[in-house]
């Protein structure tokens, strides 16, 4: 992921050669004068692009104290890369960083530190469309790097590095409306077939396949923009179990009670292979009761399993994983 950030960068250092006898600060806001002065060679290590603002004038200011203490502020816009960990998506929390490091000077030559007070400030009214900014913290990322690299040699030195950490939490409202609620509705609608008369096979099958096609269409649309998530997988598993019972021998399509088969008792009776009427009625009642029992169990089993899954799912991602 990459995000844009608009920064007001304030730095301060002491240059005794810039001492003066004036009573207050000297203001410098001329770009030509700034180009002739030394400023820290800081850069943003993990920024894809960065630029200074020049409208309507170069956005910077510099104040020089009589002791040579310089305060320099400028405005810069960055496009920062951030690696996301999506194992808890879409209930995930991310931490993105902005690294500021000297390009040429090792720590012994130029040591970069945060201000002791108010090192990181931000406007709480500014945020990201998909995330909520929970906190912005300051830290250090000092490290050892190679520099003055040539064909046959290089030097190793310690560089000071500033690290800005941005704690983000994904806004769940969009995913509840676009993913969780529609998928849960499809699961619940598929349970209606348990209350439809078991002899109305076309109605039951049509409802089930309609739910499956709706799920597939919605899943294809979400798959291009979203990683897979557990609610979708549970929905698919529930519908698969729902369809499995239509093809279970001995419940709905038992071969001994199917009047379209060549072994139909009535057909065998017409052909001379006598089957008693009480035996036929007994088998019909037996399989009819089995089908009714499956429906009655499913009316409680499927909603109960879905409710238990939701309890475990939401507890884990909202409380346990944090």
188 lies in the same domain as 314: yes
241 lies in the same domain as 98: no
303 lies in the same domain as 251: yes
Phi, psi torsion values for 314, nearest 5 degrees: -70, -35
Q: Specify which residues 70 forms β-bridges with.
A: 13, 64
**Mean pLDDT (10-residue bins), the chain, 322 residues:** 90 92 90 92 92 92 94 95 84 91 90 91 83 91 88 88 93 83 83 80 77 74 59 49 44 45 49 60 74 84 89 84 64
User: Left (φ > 0), alpha (ψ -120 to 50) or beta: where does 211 sit?
Assistant: alpha
State which of 135, 152, 171 marks the end of a domain: 171
User: Tell me, what's the pLDDT at 275?
Assistant: 52
Give the CATH number for residue 9.
2.70.170.10
User: Tell me, what's the pLDDT at 9?
Assistant: 94
223 lies in the same domain as 126: no
Output the CA angle 266-272-275, nearest 5 degrees: 50
Give the CATH number for residue 221.
1.20.58.390
User: Tell me, what's the pLDDT at 227?
Assistant: 53
DSSP letters spanning 41-110: -EEETTEEEEEE--SSS--EEEEE-TTSEEEEEEEEEEEEE-----TTTTS-EEEEEEEEEESS--TTT-
User: Tell me, what's the pLDDT at 321?
Assistant: 66
State which of 171, 197, 228 marks the end of a domain: 171
Range of the domain at 17: 2-171
Q: How would you label 82-106 residue by residue, b for 16+ Cβ within 10 Å and e otherwise?
A: eeeeeeebbbbebebbbbbbbeebb
303 lies in the same domain as 184: yes
167 lies in the same domain as 268: no
User: Tell me, what's the pLDDT at 52?
Assistant: 93
User: Tell me, what's the pLDDT at 138?
Assistant: 93
312 lies in the same domain as 183: yes
Query: What confidence tens digit (pLDDT) does each residue in 237-277 have?
Result: 545 544 544 444 334 444 444 444 445 554 544 444 545 67
Strand locations in 125-238 (E): 131-140, 143-147, 155-159, 161-170
70 lies in the same domain as 193: no
Query: What confidence tens digit (pLDDT) does each residue in 117-137 have?
Result: 889 988 888 877 888 899 999
141 lies in the same domain as 201: no
Spatial distance between the Cα atoms of 285 and 279, rounded to a whole number of angstroms: 10
Return the closest-CA partner of residue 75 out of 101, 53, 55: 53
- pTM of the full predicted structure? 0.71
CB 83 within 8 A of CB 30: no
User: Tell me, what's the pLDDT at 241?
Assistant: 47
Spatial distance between the Cα atoms of 189 and 302, rounded to a whole number of angstroms: 12
Return the closest-CA partner of residue 187 out of 239, 246, 245, 243: 239
Number of domains comprising the chain: 2
197 lies in the same domain as 305: yes
Cβ count within 10 A of residue 177 = 10
State which of 146, 171, 196 marks the end of a domain: 171
User: Tell me, what's the pLDDT at 178?
Assistant: 80
127 lies in the same domain as 179: no
Query: What confidence tens digit (pLDDT) does each residue in 202-229 have?
Result: 877 777 777 777 777 776 766 666 555 5
110 lies in the same domain as 221: no
């Amino acid at each position: 992921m990459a995000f844009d950030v608009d920064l007001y960068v304030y730095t301060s250092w002491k240059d005794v050669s810039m001492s003066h006898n004036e009573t207050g600060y000297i203001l410098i806001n001329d770009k030509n004068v700034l180009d002739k002065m030394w400023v820290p060679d800081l850069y943003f290590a993990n920024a894809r692009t960065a630029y200074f603002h020049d409208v309507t004038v170069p956005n910077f200011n510099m104040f020089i104290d009589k002791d040579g203490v310089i305060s320099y502020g400028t405005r810069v816009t960055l496009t920062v890369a951030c690696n996301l960990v999506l194992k808890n998506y879409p209930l995930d929390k991310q931490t993105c960083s902005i690294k500021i490091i000297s390009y040429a000077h090792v720590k012994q030559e130029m040591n970069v530190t945060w201000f002791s007070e108010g090192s990181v400030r931000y406007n709480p009214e500014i945020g990201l469309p998909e995330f909520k900014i929970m906190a912005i913290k300051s830290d250090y990322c000092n490290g050892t790097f190679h520099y003055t690299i040539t064909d046959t040699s290089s030097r190793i030195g310690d560089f000071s590095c500033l690290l800005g950490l941005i704690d983000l939490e994904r806004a769940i409202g969009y995913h509840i409306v676009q993913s969780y609620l529609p998928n849960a509705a499809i699961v619940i609608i598929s349970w209606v077939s348990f209350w439809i008369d078991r002899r109305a096979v076309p109605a039951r099958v049509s409802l089930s396949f309609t739910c499956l096609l709706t799920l597939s269409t919605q899943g294809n649309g979400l798959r291009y923009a979203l990683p897979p998530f557990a609610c979708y997988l549970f929905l698919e598993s529930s519908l698969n179990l729902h369809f499995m019972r239509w093809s279970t021998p001995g419940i709905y399509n038992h071969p001994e009670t199917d009047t379209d088969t060549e072994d139909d008792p009535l057909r065998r009776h017409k052909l001379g292979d006598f089957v008693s009427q009480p035996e036929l009625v007994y088998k019909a009642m037996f399989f009819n009761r089995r089908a009714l029992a499956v429906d009655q169990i499913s009316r409680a089993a499927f909603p109960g399993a879905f409710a238990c899954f939701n309890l475990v799912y939401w507890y884990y991602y909202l409380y346990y994983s944090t």
